[in-house]
Chain A
């Protein structure tokens, strides 16, 4: 090999090495560091006195963590189901060869362009009894109208669902719209000739054909749900009380404000493993499909 050829062969590795090193240290390195810390008795600062699974026991003995996990189940479940159904429904409506389709698509996609903090603040104002919806309806004359989910500990978690779904539904719609456009129009003509009424066309033919889109939508929504943090902080700050605590907000307050670094690291590790349980099978299936194609 001539020197110039050798340089050419080495160049990609050379160019990529800084970012590879950064990822190796800042992502995987710190993941490993966090996992390591979760087995120590660290309080305010990192200490390396290994205590085994002590921190995990403390984590699951903490009622606040249990609340956070329960909230995660409510929020995650509703967020995924409602956003998927709503996104699919809007996509089907937009797919009816409507006028100004591009305008509607943009309108529904817009919330995705906002950060979670902005979404949270907007919905905080909208749902605030003194400022938003309740105030507006009362000023229109319906004095007995109450809508106080935001300040009711039993209902506050559902306001987060509303805000989260509002933000992501347009994106899910775009996913499904692309899937619907991929369905051969001759299939729809064939279904008409076969005498299928319109709801049967969707339930028996079109929606089953969208299976890969459902999978994609589920994975995207699930990981957004698990890592959602800023939305809760902006909308309810985990309150009233700890009623809208999520694992992510729990982790933050344990690690950075309650001087329980070990418990925080343990909760972070639990979150990472549950995310990995969702993402890894998906990646595995996707990559295997790529190789086959």
Chain B
């Protein structure tokens, strides 16, 4: 187990830069999730950490030691692949023990290590089978066993759950997290699924077009997104972005929402001084809207047209309309609301985020 440093790593194919100056470092025992849309470079970054691909410049350190010139097998890492990449002609036992065999470990010790891992993953009864005879979930476990048996410093996971059905994916998610807690292992995990990222990570790195957008704890990423991309990529339904203009008010600057005759106080999260007249985007998570009670609430209010109601079970997603603009709200099930109504909604601005309308960066 070890810490991992990614220092100013870039990767380009000719003139095409796929990773631009990536800088991430995590401590021993952390669970780092690299998340982003497809083509953002997250899998390339993972391959570079593994040593399967070379980077153009920068340094990777494992346990404080640069590993840039080391072969994958010398980096003391293990990897779980998206397609599991099990060796088809070998039994489960041979698959799990293959790396130990390659490092010339004596057979007795090998068998013991394999059976220990098989017990941990509850696949002892499958050891004599071949991958072709296993279900998707069982293959996933074998792939994890192959990584665990090496007892590496760092585990790398490349979208390991994307080939499983929804139910199994949730189960395996919990299981991987449990393994992480139990082993205290350092893990780097690549996914395009923001829910996986939020649920499993201790650190999240959000990437887009080869650029690191934000690196922080799940709470940081969710509550204090660094820019519009992170705000809308993380969270489902995504954060609402309402165009507004900064205006002068009696007690400091206020926000005047476009297309609605309302001004709102500046959220407390904003530390920068905003020039009156500048265009901004007010970021509101759907759960920060609530149906206003009859009496005047302490929170600012907006009157909105109820367009579509989508019950999900525990919550109701409500598509609201303010002129041209659509706003999603997340309300508890049982909220008395019907489509076609005009209702007043209270806004919890305590966590609201304000972005520059031009650059998309949070103020």
Contacts and interface: CB of A to CB of B under 8 A. Distances in A.
B102 A196 contact: yes
A190 B73 contact: no
Nearest to B98: A194
Nearest to A187: B85
Given A184-B83, A186-B83, A194 B89 contact: no
A186 B85 contact: yes
B44 to A, nearest CB: 13
Contact of B73 (A195, A205, A209): A195
Interface string A197-211: 100100011001101
Contacts of A204: 87, 90, 98
B123 to A, nearest CB: 18
Given A194-B73, A209-B88, A189 B102 contact: no
B85 A190 contact: yes
Interface string B65-109: 000000111000111011101111110000000110011000000
Contacts of B81: 186, 189-190
A98 interface: no
A195 B99 contact: yes
B84 to A, nearest CB: 8
B103 A184 contact: no
A253 to B, nearest CB: 47
B52 interface: yes
Interface in A206-240: 208-209, 211
A194 B99 contact: yes
B73 A192 contact: yes
A285 interface: no
Contact of A193 (B78, B82, B83, B86): B78
B13 to A, nearest CB: 15
Contacts, number: 63
A211 B72 CA distance: 29
B231 interface: no
Interface residues of B, number: 23
Nearest to A195: B73
Nearest to A210: B89
A193 B71 CA distance: 8
B50 interface: yes
A205 B131 CA distance: 13
A193 B88 contact: no
Contacts of B50: 189, 193
A109 B50 CA distance: 39
A189 B52 contact: yes
Contact of B87 (A187, A195, A197): A187
A113 B90 CA distance: 38
Given A186-B81, A186-B85, A193 B102 contact: no
Given A192-B52, A200-B102, A184 B85 contact: yes
Contacts of A205: 87, 89-90
B148 to A, nearest CB: 13
Given A195-B102, A200-B102, A190 B79 contact: yes
B98 A196 contact: yes
Contacts of A193: 50, 52, 72-73, 77-79, 99
A144 B85 CA distance: 57
Most buried by A among B77, B82, B83, B103: B83
Given A186-B85, A190-B79, A205-B90, 14 more contacts: A184-B83, A187-B85, A187-B86, A187-B88, A189-B47, A193-B72, A193-B78, A194-B99, A194-B146, A195-B103, A196-B102, A204-B98, A208-B89, A208-B90
Interface of B: 47, 50, 52, 71-73, 77-79, 81-83, 85-90, 98-99, 102-103, 146
Interface of A: 184, 186-187, 189-197, 200, 204-205, 208-209, 211
Q: Which 9 A-B pairs have the closest CB atoms?
A: A208-B89, A195-B73, A194-B99, A186-B85, A190-B85, A195-B102, A186-B81, A193-B72, A187-B85
